[in-house]
């Protein structure tokens, strides 16, 4: 199914010069991972305060693009320069989930008409990541299948930030938007669990 994740090889190739620069300056994979989490906190804080200045909505497209780059770089650094570790894996997985919750939480403030749908969206986002980990827990590979994975959610929220910055009011259609996102997340979670079980 269509997913931004399929662009990962191209994105990684684009980031190779940055990877080599960071390695030359003794930046480790775990440091990149922690930086990604700290960046997510900054994005979440700016997003929460976007009612003070609409410019803070731009923290979503800009910040999430940078976060995607950091998420790609930490994995590339770990694999290419033999920095894989259990600590790094824990930081990566837990950091992604914590970061998502921090960034998504302000949606409750700006789209209160879809309060319950946003809560379900956040919960399903967490479940979706755990579903991806099931494959690894069963001794196989981590699953990234299906629509509305981490990269897709970042893209959607980035578009949301741009739309609101330019004055769009989605309050009338937000229920349909988040309803669709929830449906896609449910499909993605099902696919990941099914493929993990089939492999096992």
pLDDT (average), residues 29-58:
97
How high is the pLDDT of residue 93? 92
Q: Which residues touch 68 (CB under 8 Å, ≥6 apart)?
A: 11, 151, 154
Q: What is the pLDDT of residues 142-192, one digit of tens each?
A: 888 888 988 899 999 999 999 999 999 999 999 999 999 999 999 999 999
Rounded Cα distance between 95 and 150, Å, is: 12
CATH, residue 131: 1.20.120.1760
pLDDT band of residue 11 (cuts 50, 70, 90) is confident
Q: What is the pLDDT of residues 63-109, one digit of tens each?
A: 999 999 999 999 999 999 999 999 999 999 999 999 999 999 999 99
Q: Which residues touch 3 (CB under 8 Å, ≥6 apart)?
A: 144, 146, 147, 148, 149, 151, 152
Flag whether pLDDT at 30 surpasses 60. Answer: yes
Question: Is 0.85 surpassed by the pTM of this model?
Answer: yes
pLDDT band of residue 200 (cuts 50, 70, 90) is low
Indicate the number of domains in the chain: 1
Give me the domain span that covers residue 51. 4-199
Question: Do 111 and 120 contact (CB within 8 A), yes or no?
Answer: no
């Amino acid at each position: 199914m269509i997913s931004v994740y399929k662009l990962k090889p191209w994105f990684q190739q684009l980031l190779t010069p940055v990877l080599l620069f960071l390695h030359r300056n003794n930046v480790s994979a775990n440091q990149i991972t922690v930086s990604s989490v700290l960046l997510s906190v900054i994005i979440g804080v700016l997003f929460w305060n976007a009612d003070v200045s609409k410019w803070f909505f731009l923290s979503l497209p800009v910040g999430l693009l940078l976060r995607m780059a950091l998420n790609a770089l930490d994995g590339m650094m770990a694999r290419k320069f033999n920095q894989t570790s259990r600590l790094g894996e824990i930081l990566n997985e837990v950091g992604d989930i914590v970061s998502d919750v921090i960034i998504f939480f302000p949606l409750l403030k700006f789209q209160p008409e879809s309060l319950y749908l946003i809560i379900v969206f956040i919960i399903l986002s967490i479940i979706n990541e755990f579903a991806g980990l099931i494959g690894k827990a069963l001794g196989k590979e981590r699953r990234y299948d299906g629509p509305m994975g981490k990269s897709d959610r970042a893209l959607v929220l980035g578009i949301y930030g741009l739309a609101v910055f330019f004055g769009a009011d989605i309050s009338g259609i937000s229920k349909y938007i988040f309803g669709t996102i929830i449906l896609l997340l449910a499909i993605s979670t099902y696919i990941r669990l099914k493929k993990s079980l089939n492999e096992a």
